């Protein structure tokens, strides 16, 4: 049986603090997503306080959109402290492969902070794994010829420690090297929503803050977000809407989903590798 | 009789400029709140221009979310200029007590800029007053054992100048040392709205820009925001919604509230101390 | 015949990358506008990567809201690279005239990057042209006594290169010195929407990325945004709404407008000068 409902129940009971070092574009959305899931968002970014702030967090997100040198330094300091304290870090390597600077900084953050979960689209994960066939334009994946699970395994082999890799897409694919999960929840409008990728990292962080098995936490989180997308589309059916109204509805569906409706709606398949 | 309706009428007639030095998470919401109330928002943050910008403002907000050293310097410079010009500053000490850096910077800003109004939740005000029983997680008040009015009076005694203290909560409490106001407008969903605290500082600034009695301005502003929350909940009744759709509706209710409907709906009780 | 529909069709087919160096207040809106128009937004701001990022863009936006020295340097570097590569830059001189710092930086950016299109409200364009009668409060135009077309021509004469000048207002006016366009699409609520000016620069950039005739691109873009505003008002008719719900609806109307409905609804008049 899939334990997603229990994880969601735990988030709402424990209300973990989720520290974000994230981009300025989708910050407000990520804070709303975290709060609606049931956790407490904080977005401190000064090098002078990120270590102290993350020390009381249940999990942390590092998102490399709108990166600058001072924010990259803060991300590394925050990530090192989290690692030292055993607090899971979720890395969202936004823009990996788009510029030399971004790619270099992401590799530095990755090596120093050893995130518990690395979450990206197939192009980002493929580029970090050094796999062929990944195309990126700015921060947008323009397609990836290969198999997402192979890209995820490629990135794992590339690392010198154990991490969960989550690849978002029409079907989300998650692996910890021993197991693979496929998440079938979602909606075709989701990739058109600015910030949907960032939002998924926030949800994974909420779940990872209360569930030691990060593989399960990541799979459950992506199912929860995908289910919210399905429910949003249903709620808006018969009305004219685009990605922005869909996003607002989706974020509120996160709030409206109960552990029971999550258990009933999650579509996750887990296999041993 | 409560003068709130006259203050709101004045805001819309005079359209004061409200300079914000605020966090990146809720900036867009604060700008919308300011504009919908009837004033003009500006969010300049460069040390090179904040003094010139604030000099033409009717009021200013300093919010310490996502604080950095350069923004703290700009906040102090802006606040000193405002003080020199007699322009009221509203301080929203977001995250006071959460890290040593944040607390120290907030105390520095407080001492140098002598804000006309200090607005926070009970935990923030309690922590600044040095009162026992305040618990904060990141930027979220997790409860305060004591009486909010006592916390407010404690903070006033702590200061070496006269300020209005506003404590938001299920009932908002405002005091200038001689009078106490209790605001009964509001809605249980408001604390779940990311940025509702920041938004209340913007509304207080709009009102303080046109009303010399900052105590009345703060009480009226919180009643206005609380009334918008009540109206939003009413407008959404019978539909499924969460904090994000509620926030959007609430911000637009600020625009839709007329001085007349404000006069009819405000629930404020003022007593002499 | 007006070619707007063809331009929109091209945006959706080619999906150009639109690099923004823009303010923190309306960044999320600008990203949503760009995505809903059919292009790919990116908001990189580090000096270390903006040149590489803009080199693969179809067009770029420089918006001077919340300007700081490091962002001004990044804007100049990005704009120079774009100019060198023949990539059109849209300059949105937010706050021109409001502070000495802002005005000086805008003039520097203008001289170094030679934007293909300069878009502002009448006060901003009038102030940059050195025309009398422009009044600004913070970043808000408080009126301009003169004729917008004269202000636009004044600014063109002020420049030592060819640019398209777009002046937004109740009627938008665009000129390249040889032709003038008037756009009659729009809605009276648009000026009350925080970020509507910023959003128009993003749409112009999307259109200029695929249409060599920047004058036509700018005129078509403003008609497209104005049509979305008309459709939003129509969709919301009979409901109580304010500027924020109107904005959300408007952004989604950009997504819903087809080349066909754009052709049917655009109200643009072009005359030779």
Average pLDDT over residues B99-122: 96
Q: Which superfamily is assigned to A4-272 in CATH? A: Ribokinase (3.40.1190.20)
Average pLDDT over residues B175-197: 96
Q: Report which of C36, A251, C189 is spatially closest to residue B247, judged by C-alpha positions.
A: A251
Residues in chain A closer than 8 A to C40 (CB atoms): 137-138, 140
**pLDDT of res. A143:** 67
A168: three-class secondary structure by DSSP? strand
- Cβ-contact B15, B58 below 8 angstroms: no
User: What's the CA gap between B134 and B127, in Å, rounded?
Assistant: 6
The least confident of A181-190, A246-255, B21-30, C128-137 is: C128-137
Given a cut of 90, is residue A212 above it in pLDDT?
A: yes
Q: Report which of C92, C86, C85, C112 is spatially closest to residue C30, judged by C-alpha positions.
A: C92
Q: pLDDT tens for residues C44-94? A: 999 999 999 999 999 999 999 999 999 999 999 999 999 999 999 999 999
Backbone angles phi, psi at C184, to 5 degrees: -100, -5
Given a cut of 70, is residue A1 above it in pLDDT?
A: no
Task: Find which of A27, A99, A142 to mutate to test the C interface (most C CBs within 10 Å of its CB).
Answer: A99
In sequence order, which residues have a C-beta less than 8 Å from that of residue C250 and are 6 or more positions away? Answer: C190, C193, C225, C228, C229, C231, C232
Give the CA angle between residues A176, A178, A180 to the nearest 5°. Answer: 65
Run of H or E residues at A174 = strand A172-175
Given a cut of 90, is residue B136 above it in pLDDT?
A: no
| Cα A11 off chain centre by | 16
**pLDDT of res. B130:** 86
pLDDT, chain B, mean:
95
CA distance A248 to chain B (A): 7
- Look up tokens 């009305």; give the residue: A239
User: What's the CA gap between C79 and C87, in Å, rounded?
Assistant: 9
Residues in chain A closer than 8 A to B245 (CB atoms): 248-249, 252
Could you tell me the pLDDT band of residue A96, with boundaries at 50, 70 and 90?
Answer: very high
Given a cut of 70, is residue B93 above it in pLDDT?
A: yes
Give the CA angle between residues B105, B107, B108 to the nearest 5°. Answer: 65
- Cβ-contact C170, C186 below 8 angstroms: yes
**In this structure, what token pair is assigned to residue C226?**
């104005």
In sequence order, which residues have a C-beta less than 8 Å from that of residue B271 and are 6 or more positions away? Answer: B179, B180, B181, B182
What one-character-per-residue DSSP string does C18-86 give? EEEE--SSSHHHHHHHHHHHTSEEE----TTTHHHHHHT-SEEEEE-TT--HHHHHHHHHHHHHHHHHT
Contact map slice: B 220-259 vs C, CB within 8 A: 235, 248-249, 251-256
Q: Is B139 on the interface with A (CB under 8 A)?
A: yes
User: What's the CA gap between C226 and C229, in Å, rounded?
Assistant: 5
Residues in chain C closer than 8 A to A65 (CB atoms): 43
Task: Find which of A138, A236, A245 to mutate to test the C interface (most C CBs within 10 Å of its CB).
Answer: A138
Helices (H), chain B: 4-14, 27-37, 50-55, 69-85, 100-113, 122-129, 148-158, 196-208, 214-236, 243-256, 259-265
**pLDDT of res. C130:** 86
**pLDDT of res. B240:** 93
Q: For chain B, what are the domain ranges? A: 4-272
- Cβ-contact C117, C164 below 8 angstroms: yes
Given a cut of 90, is residue B23 above it in pLDDT?
A: yes
| Cα C253 off chain centre by | 18
- Is the alpha carbon torsion for A145, A149, A152, A158 positive or negative? negative
Average pLDDT over residues B223-252: 97
Residues in chain A closer than 8 A to B194 (CB atoms): 28, 31-32, 35, 41
pLDDT, chain C, mean:
95
Q: Which of the 8 DSSP states describes residue A102?
A: H
Residues in chain B closer than 8 A to A35 (CB atoms): 192, 194, 243
Average pLDDT over residues C173-199: 96
User: What's the CA gap between C191 and C64, in Å, rounded?
Assistant: 18
pLDDT, chain A, mean:
95
Average pLDDT over residues C3-26: 97
Residues in chain A closer than 8 A to C235 (CB atoms): 240
Burial class, B127, CB count within 10 angstroms (exposed 0-12 / middle 13-18 / buried 19+): buried
The least confident of A153-162, C65-74, C180-189 is: A153-162
- Cβ-contact C7, C218 below 8 angstroms: no
Task: Name B102's bridge partners.
Answer: none
Q: Report which of A266, A264, A229 is spatially closest to residue A249, judged by C-alpha positions.
A: A229
Say which of B28, B194, B241 has its CB closest to residue A35: B194
pTM higher than 0.80: yes
Q: pLDDT tens for residues C128-152? A: 998 777 777 777 777 677 789 999 9
Q: Report which of A166, B159, A137 is spatially closest to residue C209, judged by C-alpha positions.
A: A137
The strand pair at B117-121 and B164-168 is best described as parallel
Backbone angles phi, psi at C2, to 5 degrees: -80, 130
Q: Is C64 on the interface with B (CB under 8 A)?
A: no
CA distance B226 to chain A (A): 20
In sequence order, which residues have a C-beta less than 8 Å from that of residue C50 and are 6 or more positions away? Answer: C19, C21, C44, C74, C77, C78, C81
Average pLDDT over residues B10-25: 97
Q: What percent of chain C has pLDDT over 90?
A: 89
Say which of B28, B66, B242 has its CB closest to residue A44: B66
Q: B196-208 and B27-37 are packed helices; what angle lies between their axes, rounded to 10 degrees? A: 40
**pLDDT of res. C243:** 98
Say which of C24, C68, C99 has its CB closest to residue B27: C24
**Cβ contact (<8 Å) for B24 and A27?**
yes
Q: What percent of chain A has pLDDT over 90?
A: 89
**pLDDT of res. C8:** 98
Identify the closest residue of chain C to B48 by CA–CA distance. C101
Given a cut of 90, is residue A140 above it in pLDDT?
A: no
- Cβ-contact B181, B168 below 8 angstroms: no
Say which of B26, B95, B243 has its CB closest to residue A28: B26
- Cβ-contact A106, A96 below 8 angstroms: yes
Given a cut of 80, is residue C236 above it in pLDDT?
A: yes
Average pLDDT over residues B255-270: 97
Given a cut of 80, is residue C187 above it in pLDDT?
A: yes
User: What's the CA gap between C16 and A41, in Å, rounded?
Assistant: 34
First to last CA, chain B: 18
**Cβ contact (<8 Å) for B244 and A32?**
yes
Q: Is B92 on the interface with C (CB under 8 A)?
A: no
CA distance A66 to chain C (A): 5
Give the CA angle between residues A66, A71, A72 to the nearest 5°. Answer: 95
């Amino acid at each position: 049986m899939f334990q997603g409902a229990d994880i969601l129940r735990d988030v709402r009971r424990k209300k973990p603090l989720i520290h974000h070092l994230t981009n300025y574009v989708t910050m407000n959305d990520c804070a709303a997503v975290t709060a609606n899931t049931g956790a407490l968002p904080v977005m401190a970014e000064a090098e002078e306080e990120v270590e102290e702030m993350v020390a009381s967090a249940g999990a942390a997100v590092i998102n490399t959109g709108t990166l600058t040198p001072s924010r990259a330094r803060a991300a590394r300091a925050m990530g090192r402290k989290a690692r030292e304290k055993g607090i899971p870090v979720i890395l969202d390597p936004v823009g990996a492969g788009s510029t030399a600077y971004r790619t270099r900084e992401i590799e530095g953050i990755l090596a120093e902070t050893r995130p518990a979960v690395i979450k990206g689209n197939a192009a980002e994960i493929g580029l970090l794994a050094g796999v062929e066939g990944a195309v990126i334009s700015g921060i947008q994946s323009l397609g990836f010829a290969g198999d997402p699970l192979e890209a995820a395994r490629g990135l794992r082999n590339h690392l010198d420690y154990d991490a969960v890799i989550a690849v978002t897409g029409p079907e989300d694919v998650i692996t910890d090297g021993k197991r693979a999960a496929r998440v079938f929840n979602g909606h075709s409008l989701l990739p058109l929503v600015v910030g949907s990728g960032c939002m998924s990292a926030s949800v994974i962080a909420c779940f990872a803050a209360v569930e030691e098995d990060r593989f399960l936490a990541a799979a459950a989180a992506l199912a929860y977000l995908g289910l919210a997308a399905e429910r949003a589309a249903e709620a808006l059916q018969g009305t004219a809407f685009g990605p922005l109204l869909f996003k607002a509805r989706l974020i509120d569906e996160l709030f409206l989903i109960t552990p029971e409706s999550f258990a009933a709606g999650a579509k996750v398949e887990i296999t041993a590798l």
